[in-house]
Amino acid sequence: MATVLLARQMLTPLERIEDAALVIDGAIISAAGARESVAIPSTARVLDFGDSILTPGLIDIHIHGAAGRDVMEGSDEALAAIESLLARHGVTSYLPTTVTASMDDTLAALEKLARAIDREPVAMRARPLGIHLEGPFLSHARRGVHSSIYLQRPSVQALSEMWNAAAGHIRMMTIAPELDGALETIAAATRLGVCISIGHSNADLAQARAGIRAGARHATHTFNAMRRLDHRDPGVLGAVLTGDSLTADIIADGLHVHPEVVDLFLRAKGPDRAVLITDAISATGMPDGTYRLGSYEVQVREGRCESHGKLAGSVLTLDRAISNVMKFARAGFQQSLRLATLNPARVLGIAGRNGVLQAGADADIAIFSHAGEVRQTIVGGIVVEA
């Protein structure tokens, strides 16, 4: 039986539609538009969300954990806790993101996450689309809290081991392009369809551009764990901010990057190439205290996550990131929403099915109030009536 959602407004997100209707048939959207133009099946279940706003479900391409659990655990219990919290904040899909660990621990985590990716969607739980491999191919100089013991020289062989353990589910890999072996590894991963993201990098401008020529097309948490921008030595940030072929993401929590610099970033990358991420860790949605990021201990106080004096992820949620961008960059909700829906979907090459509300797309939907609060989240067409 089809389900019809009615609301005062729908953001596709490129188009704003008033007095909207959206028809779900199984796990797919079969129609979306103004109520007067959408044929509503006579047998459909109709749910009227009043003055709410229908939007695509949010997509977080960089998240380590939430609700006291870490994605490296890989168990259904851990992922259920994380995914339930994500859904409460409008996130319908995500990339569980690894942290640098021993190869044995990394391979074990990848195997568990691969099994989770293959399962069917579950009501009120965000679903993993693939894996984001953050480490071990990172710069020692810009490693952040990633353990120097487990950092590796990039190699096609190590990539192959991780690819096989993940059953081909690696969708994104963060790598420092200046490292020996990086360009060959970038090229090999690109041939596998992996989105290569420049990050945790001390590259100069020439090294960063070499990485882009080898296949890199994205940048990880811009400004953080990157060589600083200098007017005579633009470095990796010069390539990221000016590269038209490069998309880039940012942690818009006001702690990792100053609000004015978030505004600068959005002006530089424009509406098509900027993406919001959370880089959230297990402490997200939890009180202050001591938590884990992989095997590392992190102290959390008043929203700031630190390990040995360094920032170690965040407790940001993606709906809050959207709200922050509206304040930091004086942007509207529709413009800010795009940075967490359509743009990350384009980065992953899935914009026809995710990050949009249109016929043929997956029925992954967030329902917001006009105050920007998430009222309900629908994953895979599974509607849980309040």
Instruction: Return the CATH number at 185.
Output: 3.20.20.140
pTM of the complete model: 0.97
For residue 386, being part of any structural domain is answered with: no
Residue in 171, 137, 174, 201 with CA at minimum distance from that of residue 279: 174
Q: Give residue 261's pLDDT.
A: 98
Which DSSP string do the residues of 82-147 spell out, in sequence order? HHHHHHHTTEEEEEEB-----HHHHHHHHHHHHHHHTSPP-TT--EE-SEEEE-SS--STT-TTS-
Q: Are residues 48 and 89 in the same domain?
A: no
Q: How many CB atoms lie within 10 A of CB 48?
A: 11
Q: Give residue 385's pLDDT.
A: 58
Q: Are residues 122 and 49 in the same domain?
A: no
Q: Are residues 306 and 367 in the same domain?
A: no
Q: Are residues 278 and 365 in the same domain?
A: no
Q: Are residues 312 and 276 in the same domain?
A: yes
For residue 384, being part of any structural domain is answered with: no
Both structure tokens of 263: 């505004």
Q: Are residues 130 and 170 in the same domain?
A: yes
CATH number at residue 15: 2.30.40.10
- Domain holding 175, by residue range, is 58-348
Q: Give residue 346's pLDDT.
A: 98
Residue in 77, 106, 251, 227 with CA at minimum distance from that of residue 164: 106
Q: Give residue 21's pLDDT.
A: 97
Please identify which residue in the block is written with the tokens 């990057």: 257
For residue 356, being part of any structural domain is answered with: no
| Phi, psi for residue 33 in degrees, rounded to 5 | 170, -165
Q: Are residues 30 and 155 in the same domain?
A: no
Q: Give residue 144's pLDDT.
A: 85
User: DSSP letter at 355?
Assistant: S
Q: Are residues 9 and 120 in the same domain?
A: no
For residue 283, being part of any structural domain is answered with: yes
Q: Are residues 21 and 151 in the same domain?
A: no
Q: Are residues 99 and 217 in the same domain?
A: yes
Asked if 279 is an active-site residue, the reply is yes
Overall domain count for the chain = 2
Q: Are residues 37 and 119 in the same domain?
A: no
For residue 290, being part of any structural domain is answered with: yes
Q: From the candidates 60, 70, 263, 279, which is the catalytic residue? A: 279
For residue 355, being part of any structural domain is answered with: no
For residue 385, being part of any structural domain is answered with: no
Phi-psi region of 124 (alpha: psi -120 to 50; beta: other; left: phi over 0): left
User: With a cut of 50, which residues of the chain have pLDDT below it?
Assistant: none
For residue 33, being part of any structural domain is answered with: yes
CB 284 within 8 A of CB 315: yes
Q: Are residues 15 and 91 in the same domain?
A: no
Q: How far apart are CA 20 and CA 13, in angstroms?
A: 13
Q: Give residue 41's pLDDT.
A: 87
Using one digit for the tens of pLDDT, what is the confidence trace for 27-59? 999 999 999 999 988 899 999 999 999 999 999
